[in-house]
């Protein structure tokens, strides 16, 4: 029998496949939780005991991410942004997980995770420059909106090939171990990525070499239009770690305190036990992308059920019960973040597009003769238009 790490997640027998939202019966489904639907501390995990400043920062980031999503969707629908990947309902996973890591650690990003960048200090103007493909985007406008990243803050941008980057994250973590430094790694991916070979290659490698990495599977219920029941025969995604002797946990992904606790525990164990796999059970309440129509493959009543577990109201109610928040602060926060976003939109949209020849940069430290020739030909063709 393969080595089984301490605390591996084993869901108890229960109606795992029949429940639209398992968070109301979290313990029966092997899902770790701190907060109930109304923000009360009543789950299987204790309150992590974050201080007031950290809790307020966490909540403010959830709101900012939600507000960015609202504005980004409108920008796409009005034709000012070409594409959008909505993240409504998914804010808690990436914000809380990023808080559990140090800024010196590396994150391999998924595509619904603007809070990772913001928590690392990336300004809103840079974020919207990426959405508009303008100068100011460190990726020089080469990526679809929300496929962001910035090596200056140790955030690796994702690719549109889901899961293809998971082995790279595992390899980078192993390299850090070989160097003897204490850098740790966090890699986000969706449940659909666990059906790809790259996921299994990375976990097999990590089971053998034990690099300091947390694999964070964001199980939002759908791999585009493919439901979990069609995608895998296992009862959970977390238990896939058992096959590779990787410690695993299943957590309420709409509960930021639970996500923080589970990821922080995995983070702390990186040095002694190496990798962990965390399955954050959440739900994509919006579209997969703005090219998607979820009404073709799911019931709206499912969304309504999940909306009762929206991470924002749960967190706000928790803060209010602690005396850290009230209606006046709530209104002021929304007004502030919407004004900051409006300012960033105006400034980013006024920026020029990157020069066309920059598309040949950054591939090699020393450009090849072929790239240099292609660049010259492009510039020759563009010159008469100037």
Q: Would you list the DSSP string of 60-86?
A: HHHHHHHHHHHHHHHHHHTTSSS----
Give the pairing of strands 226-227 and 222-223: antiparallel
Question: Residues 6 or more apart from 355 whose CB is under 8 A from it?
Answer: none
> Which residue in 99, 198, 114 sits closest to 150, CA to CA?
114
Radius of gyration of the chain (CA): 21
**CB–CB of 7/277 below 8 Å?**
no
Q: Which entry of 77, 151, 152, 297 is annotated as an active-site residue?
A: 297
Q: Which entry of 284, 314, 316, 318 is annotated as an active-site residue?
A: 284
Q: Which entry of 288, 314, 316, 318 is annotated as an active-site residue?
A: 288
Per residue in 85-113, is it b (16+ CB within 10 Å) or e — as a string? bbbbbbbbbbbbbbbbbeeebbbbbbbbb
Q: How far is Cα 210 from Cα 201, in angstroms, rounded to an integer?
A: 13
Q: How far is Cα 25 from Cα 14, in angstroms, rounded to an integer?
A: 9
Asked if 284 is an active-site residue, the reply is yes
- The length of the chain, given as a count of residues: 386
Structure tokens that stand for 174 in this block: 């192993």
Longest Cα–Cα distance of the chain, Å, equals 71
Q: How far is Cα 73 from Cα 273, in angstroms, rounded to an integer?
A: 41
Provide the 3-class DSSP secondary structure of residue 45. Answer: coil
Asked if 168 is an active-site residue, the reply is no
Report residue 365 CA to chain centroid gap. Answer: 30
Residues serving a catalytic function are 284, 288, 297
């Amino acid at each position: 029998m393969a080595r089984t790490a301490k605390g591996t997640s084993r869901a108890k027998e229960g109606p795992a496949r029949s429940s639209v939202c398992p968070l109301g019966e979290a313990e029966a489904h092997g899902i770790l939780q701190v907060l109930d639907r109304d923000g009360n501390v009543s789950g299987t995990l204790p309150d992590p005991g974050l201080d007031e400043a950290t809790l307020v920062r966490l909540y403010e980031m959830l709101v900012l991410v939600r507000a960015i999503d609202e504005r980004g969707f409108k920008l796409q629908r009005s034709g000012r942004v070409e594409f959008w990947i909505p993240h409504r309902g998914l804010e808690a996973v990436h914000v809380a997980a990023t808080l559990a890591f140090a800024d010196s650690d590396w994150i391999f990003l998924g595509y619904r995770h603007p809070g990772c960048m913001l928590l690392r200090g990336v300004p809103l103007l840079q974020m919207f420059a990426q959405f508009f493909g303008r100068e100011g985007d460190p990726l020089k406008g080469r990526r679809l909106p929300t496929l962001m990243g910035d090596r200056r803050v140790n955030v690796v941008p994702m690719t549109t090939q889901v899961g293809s980057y998971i082995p790279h994250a595992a390899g980078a973590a192993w390299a850090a171990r070989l160097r003897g430094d204490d850098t740790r790694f966090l890699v986000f991916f969706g449940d659909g990525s666990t059906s790809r070979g790259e996921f299994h290659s990375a976990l097999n490698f990590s089971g053998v070499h034990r690099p300091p990495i947390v694999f964070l599977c964001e199980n939002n219920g759908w791999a585009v239009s493919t439901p979990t029941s069609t995608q895998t025969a296992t009862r959970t995604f977390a238990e896939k770690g058992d096959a590779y002797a990787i410690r695993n946990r299943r957590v309420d992904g709409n509960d930021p305190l639970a996500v923080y606790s589970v990821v922080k525990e995995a983070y702390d164990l990186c040095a002694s036990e190496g990798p962990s796999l965390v399955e954050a059970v959440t739900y994509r309440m919006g579209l997969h992308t703005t090219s998607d129509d979820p009404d073709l493959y799911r019931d709206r009543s499912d969304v309504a059920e999940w909306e009762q577990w929206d991470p924002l109201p749960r967190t706000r109610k928790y803060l209010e019960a602690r005396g850290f928040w009230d209606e006046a602060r709530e209104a002021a926060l929304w007004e502030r973040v919407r004004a900051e976003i409006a300012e960033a939109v105006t400034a980013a949209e006024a920026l020029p597009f990157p020069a066309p020849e920059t598309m040949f940069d950054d591939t090699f430290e020393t450009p090849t003769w072929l790239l240099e020739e292609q660049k010259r030909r492009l510039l020759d063709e563009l010159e008469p238009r100037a």
